[in-house]
Chains A and B, each alone.
Chain A
Amino acid sequence: MPHGLFMATTLQAPPTVKLPGPGSLRRVILRDSDAPSTGIWIALAAITMTFAAFTSAMLVRQGSANDWRHFSFPIILYFNTAVLFASSLTLQIGRRRFSRFDTERHGEARPTITALYGTLALGCTFVFAQYAAWQQLRSEGLYLSSAPSSSFFYVFTALHALHVIGGVLGLVYVIRKLHRGVLRTNTFAAASQYWHFMGLLWLYLLVLLRTRI
């Protein structure tokens, strides 16, 4: 046992922690993992940071030269916004049905799955309708490299659509698990959180693009 000065002083200091039984057990951490819900918050933080970086790049690029070109905003995007919000709504209906199914034990999984198919269909509609918006821009001669404003428009909408496709895959995973009856509440909650976040992110992008372009 080493006897430095540190050891000498600890000898004099009275023990400040006295515990019954073996050692001290400060806190019990439940073994039921919260990992999906924690993980999704962290993933959303990273996604937020990515879009924040793109936003700041857009503001800097707009101020760096006089070549920013304003163009007419595709009207179909408002329709797309409504579609995405409707998809969040059906997802929420699915969650309510799921919680009833979850608590009753003998309930049917089918109503939940129906609602989720609705979300899935609306999500896919959104992605295709975004494609329609790009087609409209192309018909006006606005391509990715035509102007910095159109560049950012394509970058923002394409990356958002990519994230929505990720959400669609997540929903497919949830539906498969539900079919087999092995869906965990946390997984479903995380997938829905991601989906709703995509709606919010889209709303932000809509305002950003509408005001800047």
Chain B
Amino acid sequence: MHELSTHAANHAPPQSFLRKYVFSVDHKVIGKQYYGLGLLAVLIGMVLSWLMRIHLVWPNFAIPGLQWLSSAGAPGGVITPEYYLQLMTMHGTLMVFFVLTNVPFAGFGNYFLPIQIGAEDMAFPRFNMMSFWVTFVGFCVLVAAFFVGDGPPLSGWTAYAPLSAIPGSGPGQATGQTLWAISIATFCIGQLLGSLNFITTTLDLRTKGMTLMRMPLCTWAWFITSCIGLLAFAVLLPACILLILDRVAGTSFFVPSNLVVSDQLVNLSGGSPLLWQHLFWFFGHPEVYIAILPAAGIVSHILVNSYRRPLLSHKAIIYCMMAIGFLSYMVWGHHMFLSGMNPFSALVFSFPTLVITIPATILVLIWIGSLYGANLQINSASLFALGFISMFVSGGVSGFFLAQPSIDVYLHGTYFVVGHFHMVMGVAAIFGMFAGTYFWAPKMFGRMMNETWGKIHFWGTFVGTYCIFMPFHYLGMIGNVRRYSAFVDDYLQVPQPVSLLGLHFSVSPIEVHEFISIAALFTGAVQLIFVYNLIYSRFKGTPAPENPWQGTSLEWATSSPPPWDNFGGRLPVVYHDPYQYGIEGASGDFVMQNSSEHIQTVREDKKVI
């Protein structure tokens, strides 16, 4: 192994407890902090989804203790319709911002991006620390909404104006909504600082020999995602500033004229509710890719390792991710087909929405096609990576339907959409996170995770998620509206004929809901296995070797966990493309990027399956 001695590290080794674990500038500690924050947020978000599912099918069930959280929202533990919406808002906001953005992108990205490009730290370590703590403040402000006034806002994670702009429009719409807007604005600042760091680090701090095309696919995904995030959060921030001004300073950017709320004429006028939707979704759609691209990158990185062969094309994956990132800015209007936007612009947004499925399909074909001739290693990480493909395809296919304005008119307000985005964006990204955790926990914590528990966790989660989200599509197609807090004495009680796998039977939609709720409780409980496995392995797991998965990229070229300056003061030199698995003539099954071994490399264009 040839190594190059370099100049002094970016910063001195931390001494005090506070500088080492709390206000640390070390990207690895910051990555773990993001991961921990995401874990906390996902647990809260999951419990909220449980509460919602329980209320949906057993509306009079008293949840013990909930009255202490909100005596008005859940008198005697029974959730009111308004409180259901408040829980829904918090579930969406926590999951989208503090889980799907935080863990696959900010968490793993912070930890592994500098290591994978052979750097000692991020380009601006202090900004990096600020980025986390700003995000943490945003999280605290958001969660504080549970405990002040009449609870969190009820306007959904999209906070549509004018509902979100009028303090008197419902429970939680006064203090709660203001806290929400401040929290999200703060979150934007944190993400902008993070993106700035990611981009600069990738461009400037690559080690000797690490060309752009030699970066691993997850590094590419984080890089592209940070480019998307830089522009997307730079638009959500102004939107939140304008919303805050509407709420506290008496301006009228989003409140239309002659608006009557609670039988009272609102004294603001002239604003445009559509303006909020445009600004929000201009951020909101790229946000979908901010959640999914890092997961796609992580999954590519893990799959190629468990296939023990290179993917069909390294470059095609990179170009497809770039294409997805670029197109993600042209499709935001497909969230607004029913908003009263000009119907002709619906057509304009429909076309790129269909086009964006092409690079996404190419990604899937490469992942699946590369299985040919692979020597697949089945472990928890690769199972979750394969599960990601399954979720991504199942959720993506329903996207084809929603991309057509004429079909979306029917489906938009139904559970079909809930099933679609939970699978393609939510669960798929979560599968990417699980895959990343099983794969990288040995590096991050220095101990292996338990494989048996990991596999049980996978099968429970995989089956459970299908049981939850597939029936949603069915409910949507029979016209079951979303966002309603409970369905009693209505059409959902009437049995409907169903044909499934050759079986003919009749079932009422509310029974389908009951099935979903039970599946949600079960799947949530399965996650406790993961939490147990993570905590137990952290302290009692088998100590991890330097390279437990026989990987090729630079994170496996240092100890587990890496020293504070990643490579012990001597940066590695890179001689090879990232995924040299199963190369003929090499001394082993794989050749690491920093190995000086001379191998016969096959050029991309000569590669044949």
B195 neighbours in A (Cβ, 8 Å): 42, 46
Would you call A2 an interface residue if the criterion is a C-beta within 8 Å of the partner chain's C-beta atoms? yes
A42 neighbours in B (Cβ, 8 Å): 195-196, 199-200, 230
Docked complex: B197-213 residues within 8 A CB-CB of A: 199-201, 203-211
Question: Would you call B576 and A10 a contact (CB within 8 A)?
Answer: no
Question: Would you call B375 and A2 a contact (CB within 8 A)?
Answer: yes
Docked complex: B535-553 residues within 8 A CB-CB of A: none
Question: Would you call A23 and B596 a contact (CB within 8 A)?
Answer: yes
B573 neighbours in A (Cβ, 8 Å): 25
Question: Would you call B210 and A29 a contact (CB within 8 A)?
Answer: yes
Would you call B11 an interface residue if the criterion is a C-beta within 8 Å of the partner chain's C-beta atoms? no
Would you call B72 an interface residue if the criterion is a C-beta within 8 Å of the partner chain's C-beta atoms? no
Residue in contact with A39 in the complex, picked from B123, B278, B599, CB distance below 8 Å: B123
Would you call B89 an interface residue if the criterion is a C-beta within 8 Å of the partner chain's C-beta atoms? no
CB-CB under 8 A for A24 and B308, given A10-B584, A53-B238, A53-B239: no
B245 neighbours in A (Cβ, 8 Å): 144, 151, 155
Would you call B260 an interface residue if the criterion is a C-beta within 8 Å of the partner chain's C-beta atoms? no
Majority SS of interface residues in chain B? loop
Question: Would you call B200 and A67 a contact (CB within 8 A)?
Answer: no
Of the 9-residue stretches B108-116, B267-275, B504-512, which lies at the interface with chain A? B267-275
Question: Would you call B279 and A57 a contact (CB within 8 A)?
Answer: yes
B373 neighbours in A (Cβ, 8 Å): 2, 4-7
Residue of A nearest to B241 (CB): A155
Question: Would you call A49 and B308 a contact (CB within 8 A)?
Answer: no
What's the minimum C-beta distance from A210 to chain B, rounded to whole angstroms? Answer: 21
A204 neighbours in B (Cβ, 8 Å): none
A39 neighbours in B (Cβ, 8 Å): 123-124, 196, 200
What's the minimum C-beta distance from A163 to chain B, rounded to whole angstroms? Answer: 13
Binding site for A on B (CB under 8 A): 2, 6-7, 123-124, 192, 195-196, 199-201, 203-211, 214, 230-231, 233-235, 237-239, 241-242, 245, 249-253, 256-257, 269-272, 274-275, 278-279, 282, 308-310, 372-375, 573, 575-576, 582-584, 589, 595-603, 606-609
Binding site for B on A (CB under 8 A): 1-2, 4-7, 9-11, 13, 15-17, 19, 21-29, 31, 33-35, 38-39, 42-43, 45-47, 49-50, 53-54, 57, 60-61, 64-67, 144-145, 148, 151, 155, 159
Q: Can you list 30 A-B pairs, Cβ within 8 angstroms, ordered by A?
A: A1-B589, A5-B372, A5-B373, A6-B309, A6-B372, A9-B608, A13-B608, A16-B601, A17-B601, A17-B603, A22-B598, A23-B597, A25-B208, A29-B206, A33-B204, A38-B203, A39-B196, A42-B199, A46-B192, A46-B195, A46-B233, A49-B234, A64-B270, A64-B274, A65-B257, A65-B270, A144-B251, A148-B251, A151-B252, A155-B245
